[in-house]
Amino acid sequence: METMPLAAVRLRSLVVFRSILDDPVIARLAWLLDTAPADTASAVDAYCDFAAALFAKNDDLSAYLLHLLMEDENIYMLQSCGNEPVSPVLTECLTHELAFLQELSRFDGAAFREALSGTVFLPRWKNGEADFAAAYRERIATIHQRGYGIFAQYRMFTVKDSQIVPVKHPDRQTLAQLPGYERERAKIIANTEALLSGQPANNVLLYGDAGTGKSSTVKAIVNEYHDKGLRLIEVKKNQLYQIPDIVEELGRNPLKFILFIDDLSFASNDGDFAALKAILEGSVNGSRGNLVVYATSNRRHLIKENWDDRSGSDLHESDTRQELMSLSARFGLTVTFSQPDRDLYLDIVHKLAEQYGVDIPAEQLDVRAEAHAIRNGGRSPRVAKQFIELTKSGI
């Protein structure tokens, strides 16, 4: 490797990967490279500070640095997502920086250990032989499936203070774990596959009784297709006004997104009504075509309407009511999840019992499952799952 002072200068001269200088491990590495091994106190301090930061993440400098580069959201990666070719100047810059960073990844600190031999124990870290240029070419080739930045690391997100925030421990529900309602889910799956393939896709309203698996269906679909480039961003009803900014932010992203609004309903004078109406009328499904809205609701018409609303002073009361009721019609696809009848409910119970390894005679299982449903508000997939989990626990 080149001299440490020169390596420190080259590290600070990064352009494409400039943001990695803010990484705590790389910042400490820069400090170490700037430190003279002959300056015992400073050398020990810088060496051990770097080692501690690295070991908190990884004991292999090459692996750590390569991972950092693969997930870095930089100007080259952003240009690679566009329709225009990447600038040759930027490509040349990338090539030189990858070559340097591969060389830097083999820095083993031997000069410090030799200079301080017999003075203090200095730990070693690992170094690998990865081909950074080849790995980065592969990374760019799969960017439409893996994404970049936080979208490469996580699959589900929420919105907080107008920022997209990852859900670090998302619901891992899978489609295979959701027995029943296969016909209803098939419609949503087909719409999602259309989105992923670049075909026209609809905004979807999942309407139906509580506990029928509407929200679980959306999350399970994201878990099923995240490796094909699908991500979910959950937006609360009081955050609807932020959606245009979110759409703008995601416009150039190579991935596909579901904006998920759970348990959607409005009061008749709700200001968020107009915001969602505008979104569904086309601002989301614009030319970029990488985003759809999936909403769940227990209300078919979404608007909480009282009898008093029909006898006010509105001269065009019928038109107003039709406007309120038309919101659900703006979803291109409405899928209804009705409360299961006895046969469907017991079929779900038996399939969940098989998944959970609950071994009870069928007739006995049916009687106990029906009794549990009566005590807990009626039949639903949620009640069936709760019954099986309680039974598995011996309760």
- Each residue's pLDDT tens digit, 211-222: 999 999 999 999
| Selected residue with higher pLDDT from 275 and 111 | 111
Pair 65, 91 in one domain: yes
Residue (of 266, 210, 255, 244) closest to 383 by Cα position: 210
Q: Measure Cα distances from 358 to 127, 175, 368 in Å.
A: 49, 20, 13
Q: Which of 111, 141, 171 is the last residue of a domain?
A: 141
Stated length of the chain: 395
**DSSP states along 312-353:** SS-TTHHHHHHHHHTTGGGSSEEEEEPPP-HHHHHHHHHHHH
| Per-residue pLDDT tens over the stretch 359-384 | 999 999 999 999 999 999 899 999 99
CATH of the domain at 162: 3.40.50.300
Regarding whether 229 and 317 lie in a shared domain, the answer is: yes
Give the global pTM.
Answer: 0.81
Regarding whether 102 and 119 lie in a shared domain, the answer is yes
Residue 322 has pLDDT above 80, yes or no: no
How confident is the model over 171-204, as pLDDT tens digits?
899 999 999 999 999 999 999 999 999 999 999 9
User: Per the domain annotation, does 146 fall within a domain?
Assistant: no
Q: Is 271 found in the same domain as 170?
A: yes
- The torsion angles phi and psi of 34, rounded to 5 degrees, stand at -80, -10
Q: Kindly state whether residue 147 falls inside one of the protein's structural domains.
A: no
Lookup result for tokens 């409910």: 345
Q: Give strand pairing partners of 166.
A: 157
| Single-letter residue type at 68 | L
Q: What is the DSSP annotation of 107-120? A: ---HHHHHHTTTT-
What is the span of the domain harbouring residue 36?
4-141
Same domain, 333 and 347: no
The amino acid present at 114, given as its one-letter code, is E
pLDDT at 252 over 50: yes
- Domain shared by 323 and 346, yes or no: no
**Band of residue 395 on the pLDDT scale cut at 50, 70, 90:** confident
Examine the pLDDT at 317 and tell me if it is beyond 70. Answer: no
CB-based contacts of 353, cutoff 8 Å, min separation 6: 359, 360, 365, 388, 391
User: Are 325 and 354 members of one domain?
Assistant: no
Q: Is the pLDDT of residue 240 over 80?
A: yes
Report yes or no on 169 lying in a domain.
yes
Judgement on whether residues 302 and 361 belong to the same structural domain of the protein: no
Total number of domains in the chain: 3
Tokens of 192: 């999602």
- Is 246 a domain residue? yes
Neighbouring C-alpha atoms within 13 Å toward the C-beta of 232: 27
Residue 82 CB burial class (10 angstroms; 0-12, 13-18, ≥19): exposed
In degrees, rounded to 5, the angle at the alpha carbon of residue 177 between the alpha carbons of residues 171 and 182 is 115
106 and 165: one domain?
no
Q: Do 134 and 167 share a domain, yes or no?
A: no
Return the pLDDT at 339.
Answer: 93
Instruction: Indicate if the pLDDT at residue 292 is higher than 90.
Output: yes
State yes or no: pLDDT of 319 exceeds 60: no
Q: Per residue in 8-38, pLDDT tens? A: 999 999 999 999 999 999 999 999 999 999 9
CA pair distance 315, 321, nearest whole angstrom: 12
Q: Whose structure tokens read 């994404």?
A: 147
pLDDT in tens, 296-316: 988 655 555 444 554 454 444
**Are residue 323 and residue 385 in the same domain, yes or no?**
no
